[in-house]
Amino acid sequence: MKTLFKVWSFLDGLYFSCSRLEYVNKKTKNIFRVKLLTYRGKSIALSNGTYIRANDVLLKIHLHNCLLMSEIADIKNDTKRAIYVYQRVKSSMPGLADFIRNHPKTEKIKGIIGVTILSRGVSRLGFEVKDIPNPYYRAMRQSYMKPIFLLCHAGKNVSRKPENLVPKFLIMPKDRIFSQYLQQV
């Protein structure tokens, strides 16, 4: 297990340096790493009336999985691990909101988007869960997310079957991020 984690950490470092990701706040160990992207998919309607359309600028969020793995390594209970991850994401959201507010392209950023196979409970954080319409993109994401899931749960009794884990978009419009999290900065 430790060898797999070391390999993963090495590969994560390579991915970080090649992917244009940046830390939201490395000093505070914010769990998010991000990059700007121009959305290229089909239009997505959000509950507040916002539409994410082709060519909209979004901030793509990535969980810093290696940092997270090191923090939960000693937690054996899956429920406690899930609660820890939820709290860690929740505590990082104000920093993410502040990052967007202070970003040089804040006026262009329409919201945040992420991809996950674990989406239960994220609506309490303000996210909307949407299906990924492109089957090729969905399959590509699933091909690397399942091994990460299995590595995170190696040697543990897992209640979810990996074949049922389908990637989804997590999306939040900028106004919701600001209204829900800026006052906490």
Give strand ranges (E) for 53-137: 57-63, 109-116, 128-131
Q: How many domains does the chain have?
A: 1
Mean pLDDT, 10 residues at a time, over the chain (185 residues)?
Answer: 62 69 92 95 93 97 83 84 92 97 97 88 94 79 63 53 74 96 77
Range of the domain at 11: 2-184
Which residues lie below 8 Å from residue 73, measured CB to CB, with a gap of 6+? 5
Count CA within 13 A, CB hemisphere, residue 36: 13
Rounded Cα–Cα distance for residues 169 and 115 (Å): 5
Quick check: pTM over 0.85? Answer: no
